[in-house]
Structure 1
Amino acid sequence: MSRTCFQRSEQSRQPAFHQSECAMSRFPRLSLAPGAVFRALCLMLFLSLIPGAVSAQVRSLHFAAEEGFVLSPERGFWISEYEDFLRSDNWTYEWMARQRNENGYSVAFALIRLDDWRDAPLPEWELNWIEGALGNARRAGIKLILRFSYNYGDGQPDAPLWRVLQHIRQLGPVLRRNRDTLAVIQAGFIGQWGEGHGSTNGLDSPASKAAIRDALLEHFPLEVPLQWRRPPDLMAWGAEGRGRFGFHNDCFLSAPDDTGTYTGWAGQQLAQRLFAQDLTESTPFTVQTCRGSAPRLGCWAILEEGALYHLNTLDAAYHPDFHARWRAEGCRDAVERRLGYRLRMAFARIDQAAHEVTVWVANDGWSRIFSPRPLLATQYRGGTPLETITLGPAALLGRETPAGGQRLGDVAPGETLPFQGRFRRWILRNDVVCLSSPDPRQPDLGAYAVRFANAAVPGQSWWSDARAALCFNAVP
């Protein structure tokens, strides 16, 4: 190149010009139209007039964990009046609202008694009554563990199979319209208390159980998890109902077989327990303790088995001997914190120039969240919302996009996953970003939104009740 330049310099007799030209010839030539140059200069001038617009292009921040109680839907201790959800004077909107707002419960167990309809279809007014009761739960901000039964134990009768199937068909539309109020639906209907045993009409035979299973899968809302009482039935069904059915244990920690929850000889019971531990990784597990032949009362048992079985919700009152022991040994508060999911923001990365937000979500609870929850980010400027985006897998970490997009339920216990999204606008100084996860079925109801387990950091991040979101200063 030096020889070529020397020759051109000799020919042109303009050595100074060609010295510059030769130097520049080592780089690619840029051809900019006058209008493009003007626009670029204007953009640079505009950005220079905005405080913080081009300073600190990438910012990282760490969030503080909340160590105490966090009220969030579909998890924790559950409460109940243990009476008919429709006919008890105690099951009122006021009672449910007080339990949530004053006593800190987000879940209630609701038993609907169908005793009067063992020999008749459900009348329209009964279906309307159920719909009204579910609406009261919504107004109170309570989610329900719902079960239907034809008796309250003591050897009372249930209903013939054909009548049960008729009732399930009738109930389907009501439950689908009110699916936002339901944390889980327990299979119910069969036998004593709807617990799947002691049927007076043969409903606990394998054929009848399978027929009821199929009716529940067909008519009850797809988005709401279902629960069966005993793992051996679920194991026998194989793929039937897999992904929809979890199980509930109404005698948790009561005996080696948890009072009939697990059946057969010791090796069979061990296989059933291992199946249950695997099943509850992906389906909700709700329990009630009872004092059986050899109760495991101590803190060691609930802390060990709560983690093994991914315990999601637990009766707050029964059996009182368990709760008294947990209080005496000092672990009841720890149990409350671990029940279900406990999602918190660990840290975030803000890329101003790329308009990009990446947040890492940790789960310190015993289980996942099972309702289909996206993670949303809203950009505010001067208190005005500019845009809301759904955060997905963080491509910068090379993660593959899960089918259907990434949701909070993908964050398993003990795991931390990144979520990432890009706004259309620059992220400027004093912009606020708020992270939220409303219930997609009731997006405007703050009581049904996930409350992240984060403490406020002065000048950085805080929980906003009005927005049901964890907010932070993106670029202080």
Structure 2
Amino acid sequence: MTMGSLRPLALLLAFSAQASAGPSPQRADTPLPASAAVVDTTFRATDEEIANPERGMYVWAADNLAAWTQAQADAQFAAGYRLVYAPVRLDEYAGGPLPARVLAGLSENFATARRAGLKVIPRFLYNYPAGETGYQAAQDAPLGRVLGHIAQLEPALAANADVIAFLQAGFVGAWGEWHTSSNNLTEPASRTRIRDALLGALPPGRFLQVRYPPYLMAWAPKAPRWRDGSAASRIGVHNDCFLASVTDVGTYSEDAAARRRERGYVAALSTVAPFGGETCNPADAVDPTPRTDCGDILREGRRFGLTYLNDSYYRGLFHTRWEAQGCMAEVRRRMGYRFELVSLRHSAAIVAGRSGGLALAVRNSGWARAFNPRGVQVLLKHRATGDVVRITLASIDPRTWLPGRTSKMAASLAVPPGTPAGTYDVLLALPDGAPSLAGDVRYSVRPANAADAARSQGWDEKLGAFRAGTTLDILAP
């Protein structure tokens, strides 16, 4: 065995029994004797900015998703973006059903994202007023029409959930932000029916986001728990005036006591469902006091688990100041999850068709958890032939790796029957959870670890996996 030191397997099992700062670890299921050797290694974190799926700064697909081109999408990926905001304009259909060509075009738009390696944050809307104050005359659609459109859109949402990062609720009021509805859609009964229709149209593993915390608190007075089965646990907040005023321009209550409760609720909710949005021009706020310093974004980004932010708006008051004060690089690093491999320990040799043990420690130094399903795989690359064997560690779920904590876990490393004997390099991969994207390395998470040539550690772009610098011997039965 090369790169890493050998230890008895008993230490591997002891590792799995340690108390963990993250989720409860699981014992390795291994038929090997406790005296069998293991190999272990550690990893070094990096401050490098890494573009990873479903997190970070975003840009617009286009003013209307229907106008988005493949060239634009490819250029956005090349520029380092992995999320695009996707407004879908339905203005001309507020009085009738969506034509088949619109639904077909939407599916092609999602295919554009898939070809580019991007994920989208769609919002369906019936208007887009110009300026921060020109929203009073905005028109949306009657409740029956909205529900009909959602029903029409359900097949496209289900078929393309793989490239939908999160769905903003949309449909209601100016900019689809759920205020100033011309059809009274913000009344409790109407908004609840729209919420239920949207959750029904989305596959169970995908999240909805709503602009206003009081609506969420009316539906669930106590913040939900992670994946507790409730509708509330699938709904996060998109704050489209993050940091812009005391109330974030109407996101929170004018009453100080109510505002504290609302902010506390959103902070708790952000551990369960995604929080993101954009900064904005506080022109519509009374006596605005925007929070523009690095201390503000670093403190509130962490408190609210900021997963994504518009990179294009409102830059002059916020982004430019963060750049001048020197914290923009940290903001970009911390948004969403940021997984750092800490240590790896695994059996040194396994007979083909049998199982060995593996223990892994990962630190999430980001501000949020990963919200959508994602796999964990060990890749074995044969040193002589270059052939790759993928082993999925089904018992490990990266969504449980909480921000600011190190998670320690153990798993069975089951080598498929018929695997050729030989020495294999070990790599770790975090592929997308959707079968349609699991083989696309652009959707694999790159851990925030430094390359180390002396220890044979580093990112393998072709495999979408990180070389651990350890080897595993596969033995013939």
TM tier, shorter chain?
0.7 to 0.9
Q: Which residue of 2 aligns with 1:422?
A: 413
1:443 has 2:438 as partner: yes
Q: Distance in 2 between matches of 1:81 and 1:219?
A: 22
Select which of 51, 55, 65 maps to 1:75: 55
Compute the RMSD of aligned alpha carbons.
2.0
Q: Deviations over 1:348-406 (max 9, x none)?
A: 113215633322111010000011112111222224446432336xxxxxxxxxxxx43
1:210 has 2:210 as partner: no
Q: Which residue of 2 aligns with 1:165?
A: 147
Determine which structure has more spread, i.e. the larger CA radius of gyration: 1
Number of residues paired by the alignment? 406
Q: Distance in 1 between matches of 2:191 and 2:163?
A: 26
Q: Distance in 1 between matches of 2:103 and 2:442?
A: 25
1:348 has 2:338 as partner: no
Q: Distance in 2 between matches of 1:449 and 1:422?
A: 20
Deviation at 1:173, TM superposition (A): 0.4
Q: Sort the Cα spacing of 1:81 and 1:440 in 2 relative to 1 into closer, same or farther, 3 A.
A: closer
Give the SS at the match of 1:454.
coil
Q: Which residue of 2 aligns with 1:231?
A: 213
Q: Which residue of 2 aligns with 1:140?
A: 116
Trace 1:50-449 onto structure 2 (pairs within 5 A).
Answer: 57-80=37-60, 83-86=63-66, 88=67, 91-101=68-78, 103-153=79-129, 154=135, 155-238=137-220, 241-292=231-282, 293-320=288-315, 321-353=317-349, 355-382=356-383, 383-385=385-387, 387-391=389-393, 405-419=395-409, 420-424=411-415, 430-441=423-434, 442-449=437-444
Contact 1:427 1:474 in 2 (8 A): no
Q: Deviations over 1:154-180 (max 9, x none)?
A: 422110000000000000000110001
Contact 2:426 2:471 in 1 (8 A): no
Matching residue's letter, 2:128? Y
Q: Sort the Cα spacing of 1:466 and 1:194 in 2 relative to 1 into closer, same or farther, 3 A.
A: same
Give the SS at the match of 1:221.
coil
Contact 1:376 1:391 in 2 (8 A): yes
Q: Which residue of 2 aligns with 1:398?
A: none
Give the SS at the match of 2:458.
strand
Structure holding more helix per residue? 1
Q: Distance in 1 between matches of 2:320 and 2:368?
A: 24
Deviation at 1:447, TM superposition (A): 1.4
Query: Which stretch of the first structure deviates more once superposed, 350-359 or 365-374?
Result: 350-359
Query: Which stretch of the first structure deviates more once superposed, 422-431 or 325-334?
Result: 422-431
Contact 2:40 2:470 in 1 (8 A): no
Q: Distance in 2 between matches of 1:385 and 1:347?
A: 25
Give the SS at the match of 2:241.
strand
- TM-score under structure 2 normalisation? 0.81
Q: Distance in 2 between matches of 1:322 and 1:339?
A: 16
Deviation at 1:433, TM superposition (A): 1.2
Matching residue's letter, 2:305? H
Deviation at 1:193, TM superposition (A): 0.4
Matching residue's letter, 1:247? V
Give the SS at the match of 1:134.
helix
Deviation at 1:214, TM superposition (A): 1.0
List alignment gaps of at least 5 residues for structure 2.
Answer: 1-34, 130-134, 225-229, 283-287, 351-355, 473-477
Higher relative contact order (CA 8 A, sep 6+): 2
Give the SS at the match of 1:152.
coil
Give the SS at the match of 2:185.
coil
Give the SS at the match of 1:313.
strand
Q: Distance in 1 between matches of 2:433 and 2:56?
A: 21
Contact 1:428 1:475 in 2 (8 A): no
